[in-house]
Amino acid sequence: MADGIDPLELMPVSRMARPLRALLRGWAGVVLGFLYLPIAFMVLFSFGESRTPGLPFRGPTLHWYQEMLSNGVLMEAVWTSIQLAAVATTLSTLIGTMAAFPLVRSGFRSAGAARIVFTLPIMLPGALIGIALLIFFRRALGVDLSFWTVVMGHIVFTMPFVVLIVSARLQGFDRNLEWAAADLGASPARAMRHVVLPLIAPAIVAGALISVTLSIDEFVITFFTVGPQSTLPTYIYTQIKFGVTPEVNAVATVLLLGTVLLLGLAWAAAGQARRLSRIFGRRRPGGGK
Amino acid sequence: MNDWYRDVSRRRFLQVSAVAGAAVALGGVAAACTTGASKKTGTFNWMTWSDHYYDTQLDEIKKAADIGTNISELADNAEGFAKLKEVTGQLDMLSGDALWVPKNFDEGLVEAFDINSLAVSKQLYSIAREFEIWTKPAGYLGYPFGWSPIQIAYNPKFVSPAPDSWEVLLDPKYKGRIVVENQPVEVVAYMAKLAGIKDPYNMTDAELAQAKEALLRLKPNILKFAQQNTDTVAALVSEEAWLATSNLGAEDRVKDAGGSDVVTFIPKEGTIGWMDAEMIVKGGKNHDLIMPFLELAEQKEYIAENFIKYGRPLFNEGAYKILVDKGEQERADRYLYNKPETVLTMTLKGPGVSTDAAIRVFNEVFGA
Amino acid sequence: MVDPIQASRQPRARSNLTRGWPFLPAGVVLLVLFLLPMTVMVAFSLWRTNSDLDVVPDWTLDNYIYFFSEGTYVRTFLKTLIMAAAVTAAGIATALPFAYFLVRYVGRRWQRIVLLAVIVPFWTSYLLRAYAWQAILGEKGALNQFLMGIGLIDEPSRLFVYNDLSVWLVLLYVYFPFAALALYTALEKFDFNQLNAAQDLGARPDQAFRRILLPQIRPGVITACIFVFVPILGEFLTPTLVGGAQGALIANLIINFFRGLQYTTMAAFSFVIAGFVIVVLVIFRRYLRVEDVVARG
Q: What pLDDT does residue C14 have?
A: 46
The whole-number average pLDDT for the span B240-257 is 92
A259/C226 touch (CB, cutoff 8 Å), yes or no = no
* pLDDT at B5 > cutoff 60: no
Number of Cβ within a 10 Å radius of residue C62: 16
Residue B343 lies in a domain: no
Q: What pLDDT does residue C296 have?
A: 37
A115: confidence class by pLDDT, cuts 50, 70, 90 = confident
Option in A147, A192, A239 nearest B4 (CB): A192
* pLDDT at A36 > cutoff 80: yes
B366/C73 touch (CB, cutoff 8 Å), yes or no = no
Partner chains of A (3+ C-beta pairs under 8 Å): B, C
B151-154 and B243-246: which strand pairing? antiparallel
Mark whether B262 and B353 lie in a shared domain: yes
Q: For residues C45 and C262, is the Cβ–Cβ distance under 8 A? A: no
Distance from C-alpha of B312 to C-alpha of C124, rounded to nearest angstrom: 30
* pLDDT at C276 > cutoff 70: yes
Core vs surface per residue C3-12: b (16+ CB within 10 A) or e: eeeeeeeeee
Q: What pLDDT does residue A9 have?
A: 55
Mark whether B252 and B217 lie in a shared domain: yes
Q: What pLDDT does residue C209 have?
A: 83
Mark whether B72 and B102 lie in a shared domain: yes
Q: What pLDDT does residue C104 have?
A: 87
* Residues of chain A numbered 72-91 and touching chain C (CB < 8 Å): none
pLDDT digits (tens, 9 = 90+) for A37-79: 999 999 999 999 988 888 888 889 999 999 999 888 899 999 9
Mark whether B182 and B309 lie in a shared domain: no
- Chain C CB contacts of A41 below 8 Å: 132, 135-136, 142
* pLDDT at B52 > cutoff 70: yes
Residue B8 lies in a domain: no
B98: left (phi over 0), alpha (psi -120 to 50) or beta: left
A194: confidence class by pLDDT, cuts 50, 70, 90 = confident
Residue B11 lies in a domain: no
Q: What pLDDT does residue C57 have?
A: 93
DSSP-assigned letters across all residues of B37-53: HTTTTTEEEEEE-GGG-
Q: Higher pLDDT residue, A15 or B146?
A: B146
Q: What pLDDT does residue A176 have?
A: 84
Phi and psi, residue B164, nearest 5°: -140, 10
Distance from C-alpha of C188 to C-alpha of C191, rounded to nearest angstrom: 8
A285: confidence class by pLDDT, cuts 50, 70, 90 = low
Instruction: Supply the CATH number for residue B171's domain.
Output: 3.40.190.10
Distance from C-alpha of B48 to C-alpha of C30, rounded to nearest angstrom: 33
Task: Determine the structural domain holding residue B84 and report its residue range.
Answer: 43-147+274-337
Mark whether B249 and B287 lie in a shared domain: no
Report the domain count for chain B.
Answer: 2
Mark whether B215 and B357 lie in a shared domain: yes
Q: Higher pLDDT residue, B8 or A179?
A: A179
Q: Which of A90-104, B5-19, B170-184 has the lowest mean pLDDT?
A: B5-19
Q: Which of B272, B135, B255, B127 is nearest to B192 (CA)?
A: B272
Option in B7, B35, B237 nearest A188 (CB): B7
Distance from C-alpha of B112 to C-alpha of B117, rounded to nearest angstrom: 12
Percent of chain C exceeding pLDDT 90 equals: 54
Q: What pLDDT does residue C95 have?
A: 96
Distance from C-alpha of A266 to C-alpha of A260, rounded to nearest angstrom: 10
Q: Higher pLDDT residue, C268 or A169?
A: C268
Residue B316 lies in a domain: yes
* pLDDT at A171 > cutoff 90: no
Mark whether B259 and B192 lie in a shared domain: yes
Cα Rg of chain B (Å, integer): 25
* pLDDT at B1 > cutoff 50: no
Can you say how many angstroms the Cα of residue B259 is from the centroid of all Cα atoms in its chain? Answer: 26
The whole-number average pLDDT for the span C163-167 is 93
Distance from C-alpha of A60 to C-alpha of C144, rounded to nearest angstrom: 23
Q: Which residues contact B56 (CB under 8 A, 6 or more apart)?
A: A70, B305
- Chain A CB contacts of B58 below 8 Å: 72
Question: Is A181 at the interface with chain C, CB within 8 A?
Answer: no
Residue B312 lies in a domain: yes
Q: What pLDDT does residue B311 have?
A: 87
Question: Domain A73-279 has what CATH class?
Answer: mainly alpha
Query: Does residue B25 sit in helix, strand or coil?
Result: helix
A8: confidence class by pLDDT, cuts 50, 70, 90 = low
* pLDDT at A283 > cutoff 50: yes
pTM here is 0.88
Residue B19 lies in a domain: no
Question: What residue type is A146 in one-letter code?
Answer: S
Q: For residues C124 and A255, is the Cβ–Cβ distance under 8 A? A: yes
Q: Tell me how far CA of residue B183 lies from CA of A40, B78, B228, B237, B248, in angstroms.
A: 31, 12, 10, 22, 17
Query: Does residue B142 sit in helix, strand or coil?
Result: coil
Give alpha helix (H) positions in chain B.
Answer: 10-37, 55-65, 77-87, 100-106, 184-194, 205-218, 229-237, 250-256, 290-297, 300-310, 317-325, 329-334, 355-366
Q: What pLDDT does residue C4 have?
A: 61
Q: What pLDDT does residue C294 have?
A: 41
Q: Which of B94, B148, B187, B186 is nearest to B275 (CA)?
A: B148
Q: For residues B343 and B130, is the Cβ–Cβ distance under 8 A? A: no
Q: Higher pLDDT residue, A5 or C227?
A: C227
Distance from C-alpha of C157 to C-alpha of C148, rounded to nearest angstrom: 10
Q: What pLDDT does residue A185 have?
A: 84
- Chain B CB contacts of C21 below 8 Å: 5, 8, 13
* pLDDT at C23 > cutoff 90: no
Mark whether B190 and B240 lie in a shared domain: yes
Option in A50, A73, A191 nearest B258 (CB): A50
Distance from C-alpha of B209 to C-alpha of C283, rounded to nearest angstrom: 43
The overall average pLDDT reported for chain B is: 89
* Residues of chain A numbered 140-169 and touching chain C (CB < 8 Å): 140, 152-153, 155-156, 159, 161, 163-165, 167-169
A207: confidence class by pLDDT, cuts 50, 70, 90 = very high
Distance from C-alpha of C47 to C-alpha of C63, rounded to nearest angstrom: 8
B272-281 and B347-348: which strand pairing? parallel
Option in B6, B182, B355 nearest C18 (CB): B6
pLDDT digits (tens, 9 = 90+) for B347-356: 999 999 999 9
B151-154 and B263-265: which strand pairing? antiparallel
pLDDT digits (tens, 9 = 90+) for B284-310: 999 999 999 999 999 999 999 999 988
Number of Cβ within a 10 Å radius of residue A191: 22
Q: Higher pLDDT residue, C295 or A42?
A: A42
The 8-class DSSP code of residue A50 comes to S
Partner chains of B (3+ C-beta pairs under 8 Å): A, C
What number is the ipTM of this complex? 0.88
Q: Which residues contact B315 (CB under 8 A, 6 or more apart)?
A: B124, B125, B128, B144, B145, B146, B147, B275, B340
Mark whether B239 and B280 lie in a shared domain: no
Domains of chain A by residue range: 73-279
Q: What pLDDT does residue C8 have?
A: 55
Q: What pLDDT does residue A6 have?
A: 60
- Chain B CB contacts of C244 below 8 Å: 222-224
Phi and psi, residue A276, nearest 5°: -60, -45
pLDDT digits (tens, 9 = 90+) for A216-265: 989 999 999 998 888 999 999 888 878 888 999 999 999 999 998 988 88
Distance from C-alpha of B132 to C-alpha of B146, rounded to nearest angstrom: 17
The overall average pLDDT reported for chain A is: 86
* pLDDT at C17 > cutoff 70: no
pLDDT digits (tens, 9 = 90+) for C50-108: 888 889 999 999 999 999 998 999 999 999 999 999 999 999 999 999 999 999 888 88
A11: confidence class by pLDDT, cuts 50, 70, 90 = low
B6: confidence class by pLDDT, cuts 50, 70, 90 = low
pLDDT digits (tens, 9 = 90+) for B108-161: 999 999 999 999 999 999 999 999 999 999 999 999 999 999 999 999 999 989
Q: Higher pLDDT residue, C252 or B21?
A: C252
Residue B24 lies in a domain: no
Give alpha helix (H) positions in A136-279.
Answer: 147-170, 175-183, 188-191, 197-216, 220-225, 232-237, 246-279
Phi and psi, residue B144, nearest 5°: -65, 140
C292: confidence class by pLDDT, cuts 50, 70, 90 = very low
The whole-number average pLDDT for the span C178-182 is 95
Mark whether B323 and B286 lie in a shared domain: yes
Q: For residues A91 and C29, is the Cβ–Cβ distance under 8 A? A: no
Question: What residue type is C63 in one-letter code?
Answer: N
DSSP-assigned letters across all residues of C79-116: HHHHHHHHHHHHHHHHHHHHHHHHHHHS-HHHHHHHHH
C227/A210 touch (CB, cutoff 8 Å), yes or no = yes
* pLDDT at B3 > cutoff 70: no
Mark whether B259 and B309 lie in a shared domain: no
